[in-house]
Amino acid sequence: MVENNEYTNTIILNANLMKTKGQAHKYFIEKFDLPSYYGKNLDALWDVLTERREKTHIVIQGVEKLLENLGDYGSAIIDLFEDLEHEYDNYTLEMK
């Protein structure tokens, strides 16, 4: 478990609120306070998140629901956040 005081931000993503790709990207805009130029796809999400330097702990609640709702796209979302954690020291990931 990560000590939250080590991180500037803790972002909690509730999979129940991501039933479609469109809903997922609207939710990412809200939760990550993404810029207006965000392209609403996973490549664009990667680009904007990798530009950031603040320490961020991401919690995905309901991983099974994310996969149920979005199938392969849900898997791709999980892969993106796992890659983010492995490639960037300022991100950690917790999945429930």
- At residue 2, the pLDDT reads 47
Question: Could you state, in order of their start, the residue ranges of all structural domains in the chain?
Answer: 18-95
Question: Is beta strand 9-14 parallel, antiparallel or unpaired with respect to 56-61?
Answer: parallel
- At residue 66, the pLDDT reads 98
**Cβ partners under 8 Å of residue 84, min gap 6:** 46, 49, 50, 58, 91, 93
- At residue 5, the pLDDT reads 54
CATH 3.30.360.10 fits 18-95, yes or no: no
State both tokens at 8. Answer: 């500037």
pLDDT in tens, 34-75: 999 999 999 999 999 999 999 999 999 999 999 999 999 999
**What pTM value is reported for the model?**
0.91
